[in-house]
Structure formats: structure tokens, C-alpha cells
Structure 1
Amino acid sequence: MGDSRELPRFAALQVGIVVAVQAVVLTALSGRFGFHRDELYFVAAGHRPDWGYVDNPPITPWLARASTAVFGETPTGLRVVATLLGVATVVVVTLIAREFGGGRGAQLFTALATALSSYVLVISHMLATNSADLLLWSLIALSGLKLLRTGDGRWWLAVGAAAGVGMANKWLVLLLLSGLGVGVLVAGPRRVLRSRWLAAGIGIAALLTAPVVLWQARHGWPMLTVAGGISEDDGGENRALFVPMQLVLLSPVLVPVWVAGLVRPWRDPALRWARALAIAYPVVCVELVALGGKPYYAIPLLLPLVALGADPALRWLRRGGTARRALTGAATAVCLVVSVLIGLPVVPPPALDGVLLAMNKEPGEQVGWPEFTDTVAGAWARIPATERDTAVIVAGNYGEAGAIEHYGPTRGLPQPYSPHMSYADWGPPPDRLVGPVLLVGGFERGSPAAHLITGCRVVAKNRTAGGVDNDENGTPISLCTLTEPWSTAWPKLRQFY
């Protein structure tokens, strides 16, 4: 039989205040910087709804389309959905703390720790695939923990539904499921695997996942190609940074809390049923190190561990004297300031260079896109008016293409093309466009583009507004010539990463 003890009341008032302040702050700052390059890509993908894209399933582009359709195609309008996802994550993680018997204090602690952690601030401020992924991992964890605690097999339906939607957003959810599965097999309670509801949960997940998997299969599994490229290019660096990033991405001050969460189920017999969660995190970490995955992929599992460690952390504080509480308070204040500086646009763009961008490059990628498009428009004007009807703008990456697509029409620019990621599927340019090629950025040395797009001469260079040294600072813009029709050249130009 499962644990049928009554749980503490949900601290609705306290948690409600936390998420209300969270929503107000995120909304107030959502328009301070511009679109992130990934957001521009999601907006473009949202205008081309499909069951999949080269580098991600459809949920995030669909959310981008819905948010901008309702609230306007602006950074603030787009980020409404990111704010809502962040708020929902705080509530769900707080409910996880309640599953462990956490009362009002533990729930408030968990809500504050979640809302103010660096990683959550970053992905709640801007829309990323991680924004929905964090909520979906938390929902799977909550449903799975309810299943393990109560033994009620009907929770398999919720696990299956959340897993199916998770697969339609990011396939990393398979790591979470495998980690929890290993945890249950090793530490139990294994009786939940004998429930007839398990097959129903798997069926729901399969039904929700099927259109996404079929799309990938029809298109040659491009997401696996992208993942392989990331592992090949960045795998060594990801492995070297994996452990240090686990300590800082959430917040250094929370490390003792989630470590207490890892230990607690082994010390508290009443929480024996939660040992699968404590096993899942190291399992997922081992899988990611083996695959060369990015360190932040494992961070969503730390939040349930923070919820599990909340009670021990509060007891430790209560047992300590004034000096312990003062030192903990000072460390928390420092980490909070750092989290805000890293995760939110609270400093002007010129102040981003240096330490802040080294710790989190994403704010830099939200600066200067209108000015970037101005530079492209100036280069476009260098093409004689008689040749512009047959000229083509080709961007080297999806961020550049997304910026030109969004900001270009008001500057007299035509639809851009790019062989990068899903933009390659939205091309090629018509073969009738045989005029000059305005190449934004460039291609790697030795790539097929060197033989297909030739005679390039640089006519402009982008300088990012505020002097921010982001990926587009110094981007060259060249006038070039195409050597064969677009229909035959385009497949050779394609870039997956």
C-alpha cells in the first residue's frame, strides 16, 4: 500500500505572493532588451507551423505564435508565455515540496529558491525550448512522485501525458524518464511497474509523440544530426564544465540544499519511496557526460531535489546561532544579486561586456538586432536599383535571417534566405533570382559555399549597439555571385549546426 497520509495545506497565499512578484518583475523587464536570436527563429518558425523543425519539436514555435498573436510581435508580447511558464514552474516545484511533507515554511522556501535561481530567471525572461522543458520536467516529477508515494497507478496517465507533451518540446525528456526508471528498478517501489495503468500511460505518451516522431522520420531524423554535431563540436568542453556548472547554474547557495535532498530519502524511512528521485539525478548526469550534452540539461532535476532538501535546510538554520544565520543570509544576498545580474536585463548594454557575458552570453544576443538590420539595409542599397529585383539576401545563421525577416520589411528589404537549420527547408530562393547575392556573415573555410558563392567583397561590417561583443559584432556583409542555380546549390549549402 502507498502512503495515504494527509499532506500539509498548500501555502496558497505565500506562494501566490511570490509568483505575483515574479510575474510583475519579469513583465516589467521583458522589453528592456530586444529579441534573442533564438526567439527571432521561434517567431519565424511559428509563422510556418509544422509538426517539427530541424533542431527542435514544435511546442516552442507554437507557443511563440500564440503569444505574439495575442500580445503582439514584440519582445514583451513574446515573453508573456515565458513568464507564465516560469510562474507555473514555481507552483509545480512548490507542490513537489508539499509531496515530501513540507509545510508552509518549506513551501515558501522552495518557491523563493525556484523563482530567484539563476537558471530559472534566465529562461523565464526569454522564450527558449528550456522554458517549457523546465515546467514539463517538473510536472513529470510531480506526477511520478505522487505515483510512488500513493501507489495509485492512475498517476501513470499524468506521467504519460506530460511525457508526451515533453517529447513534442524537447527529446531530453527521455533522459528524465530513463533516470526515474532506473531509480525505481534499483530502489523501488517496484510495485508501480506492475500496474495496468502503466500501459495506458505509455499509450498516451506514444499518441502525443507520434506526429513529431513521424515528421522527424520523414525528414531523415535531422534532430539527431544536430545533436551529433553539438556533441562532436562541444562535447569535450561540455564534459569538462559539467560538474562546475551543476554548482553554479542554479545558485551556489542552493548546493547544500539539493545535496540534502539527495541524502534525505536514505536517512528518513518515511521518504523511502522518494529514493528513485535521488538516483535519477546522477543517472541523468552520467548519461549527459557520456553523450557530451550541455551541462544545463540536468538542471531541471535539481529543482525537485531543492524541494526535497528544503525541510533539512530550514532545520539546520533553526538549530544554528545568530552567526550561522547571518553568514547564510549574507551568502544568500550575494548569490541573489549575482543571479539577478546574470539572469535579468538590469544593467545597460555597455555594462554587459566582461564578467556578465562570460557567465551568461544570452543577454548579449538580445542587443542590436534593429541596428544589425539597418546595416544590412545599407549594404542592400549598394546594389544598383535595376538589379535588386533579381538579388538575394542569404544569411549565415537563423538569428540573422530571423532579424532581417522581422525588421527588414520596414527597411525595404526582401524576404531573406538561409541554409541554416529549418531556414534551409524554407528555401531555396527561386531560380529566377540570378542577380547579386548579399551574403550576411559567411560560411566556414573549406565549405561547399566557397565554390558556389564566389567573388565576395565586403561592403559593410556590423557593429553591435552599445559596443556589446556578441556573436554579430563584426559580422561582415558581402556582395557575391552565385555560380549555379539555387535549386541545385541549396542542398550543398545546408548547415545543421
Structure 2
Amino acid sequence: MSQLPRFAALPVGIVVAVQAVVLTALSGRYGFHRDELYFVAAGRRPDWGYVDNPPITPWLARASTALFGETPMGLRVAATLLGMATVVVVALIAREFGGGRGVQLFTAISTALSTYVLVVSHMLATNSADVLLWSLIAFFGLRLLRTGDGRWWLAVGAATGLGLANKWLVLLLLSGLGVGVAVAGPRRVLATWWLAAGAGIAVVLAAPVVLWQASHGWPMLTVAGGISEDDGVENRVLFVPMQLVLLSPVLVPVWIAGLVRPWRDPGLRWARALAIAYPVVCLELLVLGGKPYYSVPLLLPLVALGAEPVLRWLGRGGTVRRALIAAAAAVCVAVSVLIGLPVVPAPALNGPLLAMNKEPGEQVGWPDFADSVAGAWQRIPDTERDTAVILAGNYGEAGAIERYGPERGLPQPYSPHMSYADWGPPPDRLVGPVLLIGRIQPGTPASRLITGCRPVAKHRNADGVDNDEQGVVLSLCSLTRPWSVAWPQLRHYY
């Protein structure tokens, strides 16, 4: 196609404006997610890397809280902006395929209301930036394939470098697109020095992150290997079903149409690499045992590709067909909102909603948790409290105590989990009681280092939400070796 339609700035802008209003209005409900507490803590300790993720998301957490306040609403400004940008980029992708005003509007609405985008736009996660960066790489890559202008390799390289500084899953996207171009072309885009220039930009941007990981023993690969080992079977079993529901069941025919369209429309032969990339990425994830949602960002460009034929099909349908489809779409949108946004009272989360998406439950009860820890802390005799240590079982617990503890008279917590292990150990002068959060598994090194545990409290959140901290036991224990000796043996990644 020689001339693209105009970008539907006004209707897409209205969608983005409504998206911003809704996300902002709901961003203060419930509270911080455990991962958000971890990112806020990591943002206070800026570095080129962390055990389980590169630095972009913690940096965003620091910037957002510095500008808008260290509250859930202040932190989530960053997530909202990333979600808005994702909607605009995916609408631009629809334009690349020749989609006019209606197609771009449909794509923008579909993207904004999809379950996955709602979830990652409501709370700040590594996926919040990841979905935008995948969309940008797809957009720049499709521009390159459509125009044959090698200069777009520079944009692809820049987006890739930023993607690697946020999450290394972009390598799956690049491999999928690379296989697609090798199989279906247009291969002429590979025969240019602009490719080397784009790769150079990506290397320069990603180098500090890669060097940090290398100097720390590649901990991200250790974490990824643990995910595959612990959850690989479950991930493989659920992979295909989750592809059908993570975006939205009503959008499945749309992205399937996107997979088919380049093979039926001679004018879109250049886009066949995108249709090949998705099954390639899915196959890689099945082999690696990756989580099903890792491939979902690639479905958004396919929705943009399939939007036009689906709208044409709907236009040919009768009133009954359109009414049935509208009803199905309304139900799916309602389910997406219920799953992805905090629209129900916290006590109502227990049951189907948490079964479909556990993340809202991890946003409930952290101030209550800090109260429970503060109550247990008071069980330590005054004469021993100055040398006592709070040892959290995971980064969410440590992040919550770090955020809410000072106003409750609690000291800095420690945890051997993920990057909190790098921010320890406690000083060896702290030889008093250990306030342990959680239980120690028998037969582990920790069971020989932390002994004599006496339960003093059990945490219950006020809303009764069945999350990971509900019912956690708090115990007073003794340490058998100095912290500097014990700490390497206590460290854990899962």
C-alpha cells in the first residue's frame, strides 16, 4: 500500500483519556502489590540490575513515587502511562496494516479492555513496561518490513536495548520475528548495514545490565531455571488454555484472523513474519516451561492485524448475529474488568476472582501485616530489642515492613529472598532474638542456623482475603552462627 490512512488521533485519544480516568480512579483501592513493595525498595537502592529483574521497573518506581508520592496511587501513575502508550502503539500497528479510523478505534478499545492490559496497567510490574516495549519492537519491525527502509533498524535496536534493560523476554520476540523473516521474508531487510547499527545500539543500551548480571553470577538465569523446574509442568499444561483467556475469549477470533490474514491478502505478504513469530514464541515457551502470559504481548499486534476482516465479517452479519456477538463481548468485558481491576470490595475477592487472578489478593492487608509484626516485636524484652532482627520470608513481607514499619516503631527488616539477600546480612553485632516470619523447612541449612523457634503470633488480614500472608506464623528464634556466616546459606530465590 502506498498511502496509509490518517492516524485516528481523536477517537484513539478519547479511548486513552477514558482509560486514564478509570485507572487513576481505581489506582488507590486495596493497596500495594507485593511486587510493587519490592520495586519501591529496589528503587531506593538504584543499581544496574537485581537478582530477578533488570533495572527499568525499579527506576520507574523510584521516579513515580518521587514525583507523585509513595502511595499506591502515586506509584501507579507510571503503570497508567505505560498502559496508555501501549494502546496508542497498537492502534498505530493497526494503521500499518491499512486500518482506517474504525479499525484503529476497534483496536484501541480491544487493547484497553483486554484482561492482560488491564492487569498490567493497574499495577506497576515488569510486564507493564514489557507489553509496551514488545509493541514498540513489533511496530518498528513492521514498519521496516513494510517500507524496506533499513533506518528502522535503529528504532528496533533502541527498543530492544530498553527491553533488555527491563526483561529479557524480548529475546523470544526477536527470535520469533527473525524466524518469520527467514522463512517468509522479506529477507532483503537483512542485507543492510543498518542492521548492524541497530544491533550496536541494542548492545550499548543493554551492556550495563548484562555486565551486572555477569559479575553477579547470572542470577536471573538461576531464577528462570527455578521457574522452569518448579512450575514447568503446570505451565505447559495450562499454556494453550491460557492463550485463549489471558487477553479475552472474545478477542480469540480476532487474533486468529490476524494469523490467517497475511496468507490470504497478497498486499500483506510482508507481514507474514508476524504470523510466524507467535507460534515460534509459543513453541519456545513450551520447551522452556515458561509462564503462559509471556507470549500474550505478541497477541496485541495480531489483534491489530485481524481487526479489519473481523469488522468486515460483522458488517455482513444480520441483526441477530450482531446482537449475540455484542452480548458475548459485553460479558467478556465485564469479566475482564472484574478480574483486572479492583472494582469489588476486598472481602468479595475470595472464590472465583482469586482463582482466575491472584494478583488483587496480593494487594490486600499489608498495613495489617505490619501491625501483626509490630505486635510480635513487642513480645521481645526491652533489654534485647536493640540487638534483635526481623527476618522476613520473602521480598513482599520485607518490603511491607520497610514501608509501614517505621511508623510502628519497627527497625529495618532483612530477608534472604531475591535482591533483599544482597541488601543484607544484618550486622554481626545483632545477636539477640530473631523475629522469624514464616516457617523453616526441616532438613534445610536454615533449620540448623535458626533454632528454638517459639510461635508468638499468626497474621490475619482484616478483610479475610486468602492471600499468601494469610495465616503466616511469626516466631521468636535464636541464631546459632554469626549473620555473616549464616547469610550465604539462608539465601533463596523462590
Which bracket does the TM-score occupy, shorter chain normalised?
over 0.9
Counterpart AA for 1:256: P
Q: What is the match of residue 63 of structure 2? A: 66
Q: What is the match of residue 23 of structure 2? A: 26
Partners of 1:287 and 1:185 in 2: CA distance: 17
After the TM superposition, list the runs of 4 or more consecutive aligned residues in structure 1 that deviate by more than 4 angstroms. Answer: none
1:408 Cα offset (Å): 0.1
Q: What is the match of residue 466 of structure 1? A: 463
* Structure 1 contact 140–159 (Cα < 8 Å) conserved: yes
Partners of 1:442 and 1:76 in 2: CA distance: 33
Partners of 1:483 and 1:91 in 2: CA distance: 57
Partners of 1:275 and 1:343 in 2: CA distance: 32
1:92 Cα offset (Å): 0.2
Q: What is the match of residue 178 of structure 1? A: 175
Q: What is the match of residue 272 of structure 1? A: 269
Counterpart AA for 2:266: P
1:445 Cα offset (Å): 3.6
Partners of 1:399 and 1:71 in 2: CA distance: 22
1:279 Cα offset (Å): 0.1
Could you report, residue by residue, the CA deviation over 1:261-315 in whole angstroms, capped at 9, with x for unpaired residues? 0000000000000000000000000000000000000000000000000001100
Which of 149, 152, 156 is the equivalent residue of 1:155? 152
Partners of 2:452 and 2:63 in 1: CA distance: 43
1:196 Cα offset (Å): 1.2
Partners of 1:443 and 1:238 in 2: CA distance: 27
Matched, 1:254 2:248: no
Q: What is the match of residue 402 of structure 2? A: 405
Matched, 1:223 2:220: yes
1:388 Cα offset (Å): 0.5
Correspondence list, 1:16-415, <5 A: 16-415=13-412
Partners of 1:149 and 1:461 in 2: CA distance: 60
Partners of 1:458 and 1:37 in 2: CA distance: 24
1:446 Cα offset (Å): 2.6
1:464 Cα offset (Å): 1.9
Partners of 1:81 and 1:350 in 2: CA distance: 27
What residue ranges of structure 2 are gaps of 5+ in the alignment?
A: none
* Structure 1 contact 396–443 (Cα < 8 Å) conserved: no
Q: What SS does structure 1 have at the residue aligned with 2:463?
A: helix
Partners of 2:57 and 2:395 in 1: CA distance: 16
Q: What is the match of residue 481 of structure 2? A: 484
* Structure 1 contact 117–251 (Cα < 8 Å) conserved: yes
1:470 Cα offset (Å): 0.4
Which of 465, 472, 477 is the equivalent residue of 1:475? 472
Q: Aligned residues: percent identity?
A: 83
Could you report, residue by residue, the CA deviation over 1:315-347 in whole angstroms, capped at 9, with x for unpaired residues? 010010001100100000000000000000000
Partners of 2:439 and 2:205 in 1: CA distance: 39
Q: What SS does structure 2 have at the residue aligned with 1:390?
A: coil
Could you report, residue by residue, the CA deviation over 1:231-257 in whole angstroms, capped at 9, with x for unpaired residues? 000000000000000000000000000
What residue ranges of structure 1 are gaps of 5+ in the alignment?
A: none
Partners of 2:96 and 2:107 in 1: CA distance: 12
Q: What SS does structure 1 have at the residue aligned with 2:45?
A: coil
Q: What is the match of residue 448 of structure 1? A: 445
Q: What SS does structure 2 have at the residue aligned with 1:484?
A: coil
Which of 394, 417, 430 is the equivalent residue of 2:414? 417
RMSD: 0.5
Counterpart AA for 1:114: T
Partners of 2:317 and 2:125 in 1: CA distance: 40
Give the alignment's TM-score, normalised by structure 1.
0.99
